[in-house]
Amino acid sequence: MRIAIIGAGGREHALKWKLEQDGHSAELIPYDPARNTSLTARDAQLVIVGPEAPLADGLVDALANTGVPAFGPSQAAAQLESSKAFAKAFMARHGIPTARFAVFDDLAQAERHLRQVDYPVVIKASGLAQGKGVIVPRDAGEAQAALRAIMAERIFGPAGDQVVIEERLEGPEISLMAFCDGETVVPMLPAQDHKRAFDGDQGPNTGGMGAFCPSPLMNREAVAHCLTHILQPAVRGMAQEGAPYRGVLYAGLMLTRDGPKVLEFNCRFGDPETQAVLPLLKTDLAEIALACIEGRLNAQPVEWHAGACACIVLTSGGYPGAYRRGLPIHGLDAVPDDVMIFHAGARRIEGGWITDGGRVLGVAARGESLGDALRRAYAGVARISFEGMHYRRDVGARWLQRD
Ligand code: AMP
Ligand code: GLY
């Protein structure tokens, strides 16, 4: 099958790798709001949308009108990610466990609420802010400052027109993604991301410094619990509200003392979780995508390899702040055969590759256990270098003793 993947980051390179493993030809098409519809309609038999922006812009709705099967939620269904205010109210309507919250579009009212609540809070811009719209303040002063920054100084632009003030939860975080066809929900293996830039979960939040799968924190029963109490109610609720959810539904969960609660829904594959999850998927991904689009996921097998997979992200020095581009990448030819390289912010030039973004490469490997997968992935990392290269040396480390 000829498949077009919208997007060109690490996640999309992992999608391409998986589809080629399954015997398809896949092409990456960077998102261009003005051109994608015509381009994909002409060239592809299936379109898989990687990032959230085209989904929020209604690319899947536009493609449906051209007759090209497109994998991803409609614009209305993508509101689960594109509007945190919508997602929180939706969860409240359908009894899906999440942190207590209130939504504001007025700064004075938001400040009043902040003075009244007697629990620590998290401040979130409601709209899409490239994963940066969440502020976890250390005290009341920082919370006030965050509100003003979002609502008055508008640091996230229109994404901050509405703000969610939410109870701060505690516990480890898990990413549980699921294939959905509007009715049936099939969970993937649970994964864990590493959002902070430095070892020991220190430093600023990033787009993700590494991931592994499956998470030892969530066994089959726990996944089944989340299916029953979170993923299925969400998909049933969207259908009831007239926006059936087809595509990947990503639940960002916190395992609290009171059970798993939803921190956020994303309407797409996670990045870098996908780089650790898809290498473990045995079934043809294109078959699953078509089953989702055509509403026959209940009859579609979804099978997984045993073992584990880990992905280490190599970043440019300075990321997530300012960084240099155009630095030569060395050693890609020398990585062992069992290591997968997923390009993200890397560009091919004559005779090699150069850096071209904050997150440059994902280096992933499968193994019999999490420890084995990590050893193999880090053996690949050891072969690669570029000026200023940074990566976390402790991906998965905290969870190894549970292996
Ligand atoms: P989000 O983009 O909503 O997943 O938020 C980004 C990060 O902020 C999450 O991965 C959490 O680490 C943190 N976060 C978000 N919401 C909460 C919450 N209610 N309590 C504690 N931490 C949170
Ligand atoms: N890994 C977090 C995300 O994809 O949003």
Asked if residue 273 has its Cβ within 6 Å of ligand 2, the reply is yes
> Quick one: fold of 100-167?
Dna Ligase; domain 1 (3.30.1490)
Per-residue pLDDT of 193-251, as tens digits, reads: 999 999 999 998 898 999 999 999 999 999 999 999 999 999 999 999 999 999 999 99
**Can you name the residues that pair with 29 across neighbouring β-strands?**
6
Per-residue pLDDT of 82-106, as tens digits, reads: 999 999 999 999 999 999 999 999 9
Determine which of 127-131, 178-182, 340-344 has the lowest per-residue pLDDT on average. 127-131
The three-state secondary structure class of 9 is coil
User: CA-to-CA distance for 286 and 263, rounded, in angstroms?
Assistant: 29
- The pLDDT, as a whole number, for residue 378 is 98
Per-residue pLDDT band at 67 (split at 50, 70, 90) = confident
Answer yes or no: is pLDDT of 37 > 70: no
What's the whole-number mean pLDDT along residues 174-201?
A: 97
Alpha helices by DSSP H, listed for 137-190, are 140-151
- The pLDDT, as a whole number, for residue 36 is 66
Contact in structure between 308 and 212 (CB atoms under 8 Å):
yes
Per-residue pLDDT of 287-307, as tens digits, reads: 999 999 999 999 999 999 999
Contact in structure between 326 and 356 (CB atoms under 8 Å):
yes
DSSP assignment of 249-274 equals EEEEEEEETTEEEEEEEESS--TTHH
Q: What atom of ligand 2 comes closest to residue 208's alpha carbon?
A: 1
The three-state secondary structure class of 111 is helix
- The pLDDT, as a whole number, for residue 402 is 53
Per-residue pLDDT band at 41 (split at 50, 70, 90) = low
Asked if residue 136 has its Cβ within 6 Å of ligand 1, the reply is yes
Q: Which two tokens stand for residue 350?
A: 């004559």
Q: Is the dihedral of CA 112, 115, 116, 120 positive or negative?
A: positive
- The pLDDT, as a whole number, for residue 42 is 67
User: CA-to-CA distance for 27 and 389, rounded, in angstroms?
Assistant: 28
DSSP 231: I
DSSP 308: E
The CA 51 to ligand 2 mean position distance, Å, reads 10
213 Cβ contact list (under 8 Å, min separation 6)? 189, 190, 191, 192, 273, 276, 277, 280, 308, 309, 310
The CA 11 to ligand 1 mean position distance, Å, reads 21
Q: Which two tokens stand for residue 79?
A: 């509101």
Give the CA distances from residue 22 to residues 49, 286, 288, in Å, rounded to whole numbers and listed in that order: 18, 8, 12
| Domain residue limits, the chain | 2-74, 100-167, 173-299, 308-402
198-204 long-range Cβ contacts below 8 angstroms, 24+ apart: 198/392, 199/392, 199/393, 199/394, 200/394, 204/320, 204/321
Q: What atom of ligand 1 comes closest to residue 166's alpha carbon?
A: 19
Per-residue pLDDT band at 252 (split at 50, 70, 90) = very high
Answer yes or no: is pLDDT of 40 > 70: no
Asked if residue 74 has its Cβ within 6 Å of ligand 2, the reply is no
276 Cβ contact list (under 8 Å, min separation 6)? 191, 211, 212, 213, 309, 310, 311, 364
**Token pair 């989702």: residue:** 292
Q: What atom of ligand 2 comes closest to residue 193's alpha carbon?
A: 1
Contact in structure between 165 and 110 (CB atoms under 8 Å):
yes
Residue 147: exposed, middle, or buried by beta-carbon count in 10 A (0-12, 13-18, 19+)?
Answer: buried
Q: Tell me the best of 88, 103, 124, 136 to mutate to test the pocket of ligand 1, counting ligand atoms within 8 Å of each CB and taking the most.
A: 136
Q: Which two tokens stand for residue 264?
A: 């956020």
Q: Which two tokens stand for residue 80?
A: 């689960």
End-to-end CA distance of the chain: 38
Class (C level, CATH) for 308-402: alpha beta
Return the CA Rg of the chain. 21
**Ligand lying nearest the CA atom of residue 175:** 2
Answer yes or no: is pLDDT of 146 > 60: yes
Q: Tell me the best of 170, 176, 263, 271 to mutate to test the pocket of ligand 1, counting ligand atoms within 8 Å of each CB and taking the most.
A: 263
Asked if residue 132 has its Cβ within 6 Å of ligand 1, the reply is no
Nearest by Cα to 74 from 206, 182, 148: 182
DSSP assignment of 190-230 equals -BEE--EEETTTEEEE-S-SEEEES-TT--HHHHHHHIIII
What's the whole-number mean pLDDT along residues 272-281?
A: 98
Nearest by Cα to 121 from 106, 134, 108: 134
Asked if residue 270 has its Cβ within 6 Å of ligand 2, the reply is yes
What's the whole-number mean pLDDT along residues 273-292?
A: 98
Answer yes or no: is pLDDT of 25 > 80: yes
> Quick one: fold of 173-299?
D-amino Acid Aminotransferase; Chain A, domain 1 (3.30.470)
Q: Which two tokens stand for residue 159?
A: 């994404």
The three-state secondary structure class of 307 is coil
Q: Whose CA is nearest to atom 4 of ligand 2?
A: 270
Span 2-74: which CATH code? Answer: 3.40.50.20
Asked if residue 210 has its Cβ within 6 Å of ligand 2, the reply is no
- The pLDDT, as a whole number, for residue 66 is 84
What's the whole-number mean pLDDT along residues 156-173?
A: 95
Q: Which two tokens stand for residue 400?
A: 């190894």
**Ligand lying nearest the CA atom of residue 134:** 1
Asked if residue 264 has its Cβ within 6 Å of ligand 2, the reply is no
Nearest by Cα to 161 from 152, 169, 172, 174: 152
Q: Which residue type occupies 200?
A: G
Asked if residue 81 has its Cβ within 6 Å of ligand 2, the reply is no
Answer yes or no: is pLDDT of 403 > 60: no
